[in-house]
Amino acid sequence: MKISDIIKEIEEEEKEKDNYGISYKLMFHKYLSKWHWFFVSILIFGLSTVLYAYFATSLYQINSTILLRDENKGTEFASNSLLSESQGYSGSSSVENEAEVFRSEYLISKAIEELNFSISFFQNNGFLRWREIYKNEVPIDLLIKEKNEYFNLRELEVLIIPVSNEEFILKEDKKEEKKYKFGQDVKNSYGTFSIQKNKDFFGNFNDYLNSPLKMIFHGDKLSRDISESFDVEIVNKLASVISLTIYAEHPLKGKDLLNKILEIYNREAEEEKNSLAKNTIAFIDEQLVDLTEELLRIENEAEQYKLRNSITDVSAEAQLFLNSTTANRQQVAEITVQIDVLESIEAYMSESGNEFETIPGTLSAPEPTLNELIQNYNKLQQDRERMLRTTQPTNPIVINISEQLTSLRRSIIESIKQIKNSLIISKRSLETSSNQFQSRASRVPTMERELLDINRKQGIKQEHYLLLVQKREEAAITLAAASSGNSKVIDPPSSSEYPVKPNKKIIFGLSLIFGFGLPFGLIYFKDRWDEKVQFKSDVEKSTKVPILGELSRKVKKGVIAISKSKRTMIAEQIRFIRTSLAFATNNKEKKVILVTSGMSGEGKTFFSINLAISLGLAGKKVVVLEFDLRKPALMNALELPKSKGLSEYLDPDSSINTKDIITHWEGQENVSIISCGEIPENPAELMLGERIIKLLSELKNNFDHVIIDSAPVGLVSDAFTLSDFADVTIYMVRYNFSTKAQLNTIEDIRKTKRFKNPMIVLNGAKLEMTYGYGEAYGKSYYQKS
């Protein structure tokens, strides 16, 4: 990128910054020029604020901080494991839930009802102002005897005027005044009540004679209003701390109300716990009666079952049956072996050929007596065999021994039979007993199942019974501990020293802000929505056509704003435009200047006349052509008589010369005028004729400058027809009159090059909006008139 391009870009940025700076300054002056808007707005808001501060009810702020009790810690009962495990009796609740309870309209309405706050008394405190009085500040007292259905439906104001120590006047809305005696029953739409003197009144009752007191029956609206303004803030969830804030006209009344709300809250919570615990205990007691009867019935059923089946412990007896059966079977096996041994001995001894044989030692008899006989028998056998070795069988000794053996043999056989019979009987007895044990043992599973079913029922009822007893104890403990309340007051209700509502400093500050902001916003949005040209920057942003200069507002009447001796601001502005025009055209002689605008009323005729005078003062010969053939205004503005002019000259059949239509302006040297003449029927066609070329050629030869005051380009095409003859085209734009759409038209003309050397003159500028100079500087520099 070239250095020259960078420098050019920087210059353009600096130019834009300067333009925007000027725009902000102009905007400031624009707002400053509307100072009366700001004055009226501030005055209205200020008066409204003063009236509001005067009539608004002053409210005090009453604060209190409470700590919600945690039932799971902090008391001996709460630390009990049974209580901590109980469901539904612990009383624990979330801080959010308790905050909603405090916000409830029910709690506030109950406090109002108990404190009898549904009726308030007010004392006159200035013009149309009332101040609430409370307790011993009130000279009278109201005793409500009967309420009807309308008592809480609507608000009612009643005026009470004590006229003596015995009588008072009562006046309701839109009703006649009535006189009553103190203590007399009064009936109205709210019910029946009586008004008496307040015994606790600390003042002098006579001071209130003939002074009105206002009594208000609030109805349900009071509780709703207090509930809406009741602030409940959770200070610390971890510590379960809640801050309560209430606003009241009377601080003592607000403190009493907040204390009552706390009292009712704790009372309701305690009653809820007590009610729940008492109902639980009663329910459990009823259940325990029926459950006890069922337990007795099941226990009796178990007892009868054990008696019928002669059992105490099924498992133990089953084991006993099993052990007995095993023992019997072992004994039967032993007896069987003994019987087999006896039968073997008996068979051995009964066998022929074994009469004089010893009994084998392996055949041991089960009975000691039999064993002894067998031993004796075997000894005699041994003695006989020893004798036979030395003697004959016929030896008397041998015969005696043989006889003894025969006798002993018979005894042994007989003894074996007796013992065997005895063992057989014992075996049968054992087998019978074993069969009985086996049969009893086979019934054990059935008995065990039936008894288990009975025990199961008994266990269920027993657990139910124990659970109910436990819950009853928990409910009793909760009932005993509920008297401690549900909350602890950390900071008791305290009132602010001064009223906090309305905050007059904030209100006055806001009124000042709105007093400035409203007109500022109106002017700002008016400018935003207004399509009129407001600032020079609007023109610079919309088109690249150079701005030749600005004309300030012309205050005095008349069309002439410049003369040789005038040094007013607008005169200097015209001189500045004259100089700029010469500079822009390189001081070219014989210039034709076309002056046009977007619509009628933008000052092209005014500018054409004064530019001509300015050039004439500079020694230039100038002629002004009234070429607005449709709506001519130049001659009327100059208050010159009408004469033949352009319409007559441009007629193709006309024989009028140029000199015949030129009017020399008396009093203005070097300035001539050519009027429109009679308004033609075909102005567009006249401008297309050849005589216009001749006219302008002659004028350029005889004058230094030819100024053409043409018709607006936004309405007709006359200016475009004349643009071919012009060396410079000046487009008039008037502040707060010309539209921004016209600037787009100017830019389109520049792009299409339909005008030669187009330039813009801004008309209707204020002094403070011109060239960025301050108003004070401008007024001190230029002539005042």
pLDDT value at residue 247: 92
Query: What is the phi/psi pair of residue 760, to 5°?
Result: -120, 135
Other Cβ atoms less than 10 A from the Cβ of 558: the count is 10
Calculate what percentage of the chain has a pLDDT beyond 90. 10
| CA-angle at 668, arms to 666 and 672, nearest 5° | 75
Q: Token match 């002539």: residue?
A: 783
pLDDT value at residue 637: 83
pLDDT value at residue 731: 92
Residue 73 CA: distances (Å) to CA of 84, 90, 441: 9, 11, 58
pLDDT value at residue 630: 82
Structure tokens at 313: 């412990």
Q: For helices 604-617 and 569-584, what crossing angle results, to 10°?
A: 80
Residue 259 in this model has a pLDDT that exceeds 90: yes
Read off the DSSP letter of residue 724. Answer: G
Residue 334 in this model has a pLDDT that exceeds 50: yes
Q: Token match 């709703």: residue?
A: 224
Structure tokens at 516: 């400035």
Q: What is the 3-state secondary structure (H, E, C) of 755-777?
A: CCCEEEEEEEECHHHCCCCCHHH
| CA-angle at 311, arms to 306 and 317, nearest 5° | 150
Residue 491 CA: distances (Å) to CA of 73, 241, 330, 488: 22, 11, 91, 9
Is the pLDDT higher at 157 or at 529?
157
pLDDT value at residue 252: 93
Structure tokens at 209: 């004679």
Cβ neighbours of residue 738 under 8 Å, at least 6 residues apart?
Answer: 532, 533, 597, 598, 599, 602
| Range 546-554+568-781: architecture per CATH | 3-Layer(aba) Sandwich (3.40)
Report residue 776's pLDDT band, with 50, 70 and 90 as the boundaries: very low
pLDDT value at residue 122: 92
Structure tokens at 128: 């149309």
User: For the purposes of burial, counting CB atoms within 10 Å of the CB of 677, is it exposed (0-12), middle (13-18) or buried (19 or more)?
Assistant: buried
**237 contacts 98 by C-beta, under 8 angstroms:** no
Encode pLDDT of 275-321 as tens digits: 777 778 888 888 888 888 888 888 787 777 777 776 666 566 656 65
Calculate what percentage of the chain has a pLDDT beyond 70. 81
CA 440 to CA 433: how far, in whole Å? 11
β-bridge mates for residue 193, sequence order: 144, 186
CA 363 to CA 409: how far, in whole Å? 15
Mean pLDDT over 141-149 rounds to 82
Q: Token match 């130049």: residue?
A: 634
CA 198 to CA 556: how far, in whole Å? 78
Give the residue among 370, 377, 387 at the shortest CA–CA distance from 354.
377
Amino acid identity for residue 218 in this structure: H
Encode pLDDT of 46-96 as tens digits: 899 888 888 888 899 999 999 887 655 444 344 344 444 444 444 445 788
Residue 771 in this model has a pLDDT that exceeds 50: no
Encode pLDDT of 589-614 as tens digits: 768 999 998 888 888 889 999 999 99
Mean pLDDT over 680-706 rounds to 85
pLDDT value at residue 5: 52
Amino acid identity for residue 691 in this structure: R
pLDDT value at residue 756: 84
pLDDT value at residue 461: 78
pLDDT value at residue 398: 75
Q: What is the 3-state secondary structure (H, E, C) of 556-609?
A: CCCCCCCCCCCCCHHHHHHHHHHHHHHHHCCCCCCEEEEEEECCCCCCHHHHHH
Please tell me which of 252-261, 420-429, 501-510, 730-739 the model is most confident about, judged by mean pLDDT. 252-261
Is the pLDDT higher at 51 or at 440?
51
pLDDT value at residue 16: 53
Residue 514 CA: distances (Å) to CA of 109, 475, 726, 781: 39, 63, 54, 38
Report residue 706's pLDDT band, with 50, 70 and 90 as the boundaries: very high
Report how far apart the first and last C-alpha atoms of the chain are (Å, whole number). 55
Give the residue among 555, 725, 750 at the shortest CA–CA distance from 627.
725
pLDDT value at residue 782: 55
The DSSP annotation for 508-546 comes to HHHHHHHHHHHHHHHHHHHHHH--B--SHHHHHHH--SP
Give the residue among 704, 642, 701, 697 at the shortest CA–CA distance from 674.
642
- Mean pLDDT in the chain? 79
The DSSP annotation for 10-42 comes to HHHHHHHHHHHHHHHHHHHHHHHHTHHHHHHHH
Mean pLDDT over 424-449 rounds to 69
**614 contacts 585 by C-beta, under 8 angstroms:** no
Its pTM stands at 0.53
The DSSP annotation for 36-86 comes to HHHHHHHHHHHHHHHHHHHHSPPBEEEEEEEEE--TTSSSTTTT-HHHHH-
Report residue 419's pLDDT band, with 50, 70 and 90 as the boundaries: confident
Residue 557 in this model has a pLDDT that exceeds 80: no
Encode pLDDT of 360-398 as tens digits: 655 556 677 777 777 777 787 777 777 777 777 777 877
pLDDT value at residue 200: 86
pLDDT value at residue 79: 39
Lowest-confidence region among 18-22, 59-63, 430-434: 18-22
Residue 194 CA: distances (Å) to CA of 140, 186, 718: 10, 6, 94
Residue 717 in this model has a pLDDT that exceeds 80: no
Is the pLDDT higher at 320 or at 192?
192
Residue 20 in this model has a pLDDT that exceeds 70: no
Give me the residue spans of the domains in the chain: 3-58+504-529, 61-273, 314-468, 546-554+568-781
The DSSP annotation for 210-222 comes to T--EEEEE-TTHH
Give the residue among 230, 238, 240 at the shortest CA–CA distance from 91.
240
Residue 245 in this model has a pLDDT that exceeds 90: yes
Is the pLDDT higher at 18 or at 308?
308
Cβ neighbours of residue 606 under 8 Å, at least 6 residues apart?
Answer: 554, 559, 561, 637, 763
Structure tokens at 85: 């495990």
pLDDT value at residue 285: 83
Structure tokens at 712: 């607006």
Residue 99 in this model has a pLDDT that exceeds 50: yes
